[in-house]
């Protein structure tokens, strides 16, 4: 857990600080679009919460439609 926090704080310091300094809110949106899901997934994984797999779900969905080998 500590490692996750340290790692993500480092990313925050390295990238968000220059973004805020340049006041480019578009970059900030792009940054948080990936940063927050990444942090959430990392914490969930740390807590051993099973996150459903998108690829398997898509595969099952396709199989239900009969599109598969």
How many Cα atoms within 13 Å fall on the side-chain side of residue 15?
15
- Alpha-carbon distance 11 to 47, whole Å? 21
Min dist. Cβ of residue 32 to other proteins (A):
8
- Tell whether residue 62 is a contact of other proteins (CB under 8 A): yes
Binding mask 12-31 for other proteins (x = CB under 8 A): --xxx-xx--x-x-xx-xxx
- Alpha-carbon distance 5 to 21, whole Å? 23
CB 23 within 8 A of CB 38: no
Residues near other proteins (CB under 8 A) are: 7-8, 11, 14-16, 18-19, 22, 24, 26-27, 29-35, 37-39, 41-42, 45, 51-56, 58-59, 62-63, 67-69
């Amino acid at each position: 857990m500590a490692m996750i926090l340290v790692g993500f704080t480092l990313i925050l310091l390295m990238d968000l600080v220059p973004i805020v300094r340049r006041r480019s809110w578009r970059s900030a949106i792009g940054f948080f679009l990936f940063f927050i899901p990444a942090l959430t997934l990392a914490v969930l994984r740390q807590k051993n919460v099973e996150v459903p797999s998108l690829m398997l779900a898509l595969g099952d969905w396709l199989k239900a439609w009969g599109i598969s080998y």
